[in-house]
Amino acid sequence: MPFVRIDALRAAPERLEALGRAVYDAMRETIDIPVDDLFQVLTSHDGTSGTLRYGEDYMGVHRDDGIVFVAITMRSGRPPAKKQALYRRITELAQEYAGTEPRNVFVTLTENEPIDWSFGDGVAQYAAATAP
Amino acid sequence: MPFVRIDALRAAPERLEALGRAVYDAMRETIDIPVDDLFQVLTSHDGTSGTLRYGEDYMGVHRDDGIVFVAITMRSGRPPAKKQALYRRITELAQEYAGTEPRNVFVTLTENEPIDWSFGDGVAQYAAATAP
Amino acid sequence: MPFVRIDALRAAPERLEALGRAVYDAMRETIDIPVDDLFQVLTSHDGTSGTLRYGEDYMGVHRDDGIVFVAITMRSGRPPAKKQALYRRITELAQEYAGTEPRNVFVTLTENEPIDWSFGDGVAQYAAATAP
């Protein structure tokens, strides 16, 4: 269910794909998503028709053009400790798979509810699964 | 008010536009949005500078590169039955207008409040409309 | 912390950047964000591989292809008056910096919580800052 958008600057397809795998694997390990629960939009911006702007030192973290924005929409209910584990693991795997430095990984979460998902066939699968 | 992002792979402009119409018409029919309440970002990814990743069989639905991600932001308050009708109708019209198979239509909703919208001129129109 | 996506049609890099500055400066002035708290994805759509669709006269505001969609994710808690000031100021500065007419500025807000942000290094900085 998590729906993920990843945005990077001038990233080769292999790097985009490695970042996508990092986020998926981190979710599998830290927030208990099922196998194959993978829905991602990966975008490389060329700096002309699209670009990323960022504060170079906000919160005491130094960033550069290796920055990666990860925006995740998922169901509400994960406790803070799981979210913190998720951030940590995304960062570790982004470094391992894509060579992205931890300081360049930005993550934000937005939450919704089970009824807010349809995985195909026009059905709200999570709602149907729990309806009487 | 719904703000909609639609992402597809290697889609011709006509197909993108047909998907946009499918989502708009489905909203008109199922969740009572006014005429002309249309705000959409449609993106075709070329598989190189941008791509979509998806679980091929998550929740028992088989997907392929015909997949379409529909992410909708709208005001809270629609009951589950309306959301379910919306998913069903988007799927039907995506097939009718764009030839997209129902198994390839992914939808997710995120909700906010009336104060969270400005439709131009720097005004929060929905808030103003209900203010004393 | 606000995470901002700005989408426009056939915008030159200078115009995109000016729109980004307009939104950042407006936030600095109206909703008290710190210096350097800047995280933006700016996209120009060419009308072919990507496009924007909009209701030309919804809510009595006339729009054209100069339209700009501004989608902001930020922490909950800003009162309505601050949000209204934000819309007004974004619109004023978009006109001043980028020549965008006020009628063409669309803004929507989505809110989340302090735990929902990681600004790098795999840490939830806002949560850590307030934890005992």
Q: What is the pLDDT of residues B61-90, one digit of tens each?
A: 999 999 999 999 999 999 999 999 999 999
Domain that holds residue B89: 3-130
| pLDDT computed for residue C132 by the predictor | 43
The answer to whether residue A32 scores a pLDDT higher than 50 is: yes
Neighbours of chain C (3+ CB pairs under 8 A): A, B
Other beta carbons within 10 Å of A87: 29
The answer to whether residue B37 scores a pLDDT higher than 60 is: yes
| Ranges of residues in chain C whose predicted pLDDT is under 70 | 128-132
How many structural domains are present in chain B? 1
Q: Longest C-alpha distance within chain A, in Å? A: 52
The string of pLDDT tens digits covering residues A49-86 is 999 999 999 999 999 999 999 999 999 999 999 999 99
Percent of chain A with pLDDT over 70: 96
Is A115 in contact with B80 (Cβ distance < 8 A)? yes
- Interface probe for C, chosen from A10, A82, A107 (most Cβ of C below 10 Å), is A107
Mean pLDDT of chain B: 96
| pLDDT computed for residue B131 by the predictor | 45
Query: Contact, B106 vs A120, CB < 8 A?
Result: yes
Is B84 in contact with A124 (Cβ distance < 8 A)? yes
Q: Which of C34, C116, C123 sits opposite A108 (nearest CB)?
A: C116
Is A17 in contact with B104 (Cβ distance < 8 A)? no
Q: How far is A10 from chain B (nearest CA, A)?
A: 8
The string of pLDDT tens digits covering residues B100-131 is 999 999 999 999 999 999 999 999 999 965 54
pTM summary value: 0.97
**A75 interfaces chain B, CB cutoff of 8 Å:** no
**A108 interfaces chain C, CB cutoff of 8 Å:** yes
Mean pLDDT, range A7-33, rounded to an integer: 97
CA separation for the pair A23, A38 (Å, rounded): 10
Burial annotation B58-90 (CB, 10 A radius, 16+ → b, else e) = bbebebeebbbbbbbbbbeebeeeebbbbbbbb
Query: Contact, B10 vs B65, CB < 8 A?
Result: yes
Interface of A with C in 19-58 (CB under 8 A): 45, 47-58
Residue B124 belongs to a domain with what CATH number?
3.30.429.10
Q: Which of A38, A43, A117 sits opposite B50 (nearest CB)?
A: A43
Length of chain C: 132
